[in-house]
Amino acid sequence: MRKLKNSELKRLSVQDFKNAKKTPLIVVLDNIRSLNNIGSVFRTSDAFLVEKIYLSGITAKPPHKDIQKTALGSTETVEWEYVEDTLTLVEKLKTEGINVLSIEQAEDATMLNDFTPKPKTKYAVVFGNEVKGVQQEVVDVSDSVIEIPQYGTKHSLNISVSCGVVLWDLFSKLKC
């Protein structure tokens, strides 16, 4: 088996990406500290044709060299917007008919592998701060809380890893 060269990967151009049909997913970053994590989320969002990323609170905004280091240009493809307050954003998204999912460990959370997205529904997935997680007030108003099952001793994943797991799972379920 031969590895493919970059020229053989048939990647979309920036314009083709912008014109492509997007996955009905919005990513909300709630007070993310690490610029490398932010860049990784952009890159993963590009891979799965995410509609938009909202950066909120202390989450840094492009352009920034530490975001670019991991984003590899995806800040130019994935639409993004900065908002000051995550709760206000989530309440607005809900009024637009978007189903809000906080990715968090919480009482009565639905395990990701047990979650089945509804057809013709747009979802916003909220990822929280590396230490404190998603703000409780945001969890309180979310339509659902989704937890990634974990079986080791740590019971936590880096936010960029969590984003990759969740976006791949939802992308594969929504594209079927």
* 118-156 pLDDT per residue, tens: 999 999 999 999 999 999 999 999 999 999 999 999 989
Q: Are 45 and 78 in contact (CB under 8 A)?
A: yes
> Would you say residue 62 has pLDDT above 70?
yes
Note the CATH number of domain 17-174: 3.40.1280.10
User: For a pLDDT cut of 70, what percent of the chain falls above it?
Assistant: 99
Predicted model pTM: 0.96
In sequence order, what are the residues at sequence separation of 6 or more whose Cβ sits closer than 8 angstroms to the Cβ of residue 144?
99, 100, 101, 102, 110, 115
Q: How confident is the model at residue 36 (pLDDT cuts 50, 70, 90)?
A: very high
Tell me: pLDDT of 176 over 60.
no
Structure tokens at 68: 């670019």
Per-residue pLDDT at 8 exceeds 90? yes
Residue with tokens 């740590």: 154
Chain Cα centroid distance, residue 145 = 14
Identify whether the C-beta of residue 129 lies closer than 8 Å to the C-beta of residue 31: yes
Tell me how crowded residue 111 is: count the other CB atoms within 10 A of its CB. 10
Say how far apart CA 40 and CA 134 lie, in whole Å.
18
pLDDT at 32 over 70: yes
pLDDT-derived band at 168 (thresholds 50, 70, 90) equals very high
Q: Where are the domains positioned within the chain?
A: 17-174
pLDDT band at 73 (very low <50, low <70, confident <90, very high): very high
Q: Dig out the tokens for 62 from the structure.
A: 């492009």
The beta strand positions in the chain, using DSSP E, are: 23-30, 50-56, 80-83, 99-103, 110-111, 123-128, 144-147
All residues at 6 or more sequence positions from 104 whose CB lies less than 8 Å from its CB, including other chains: 128, 133, 134, 139, 145, 146, 147
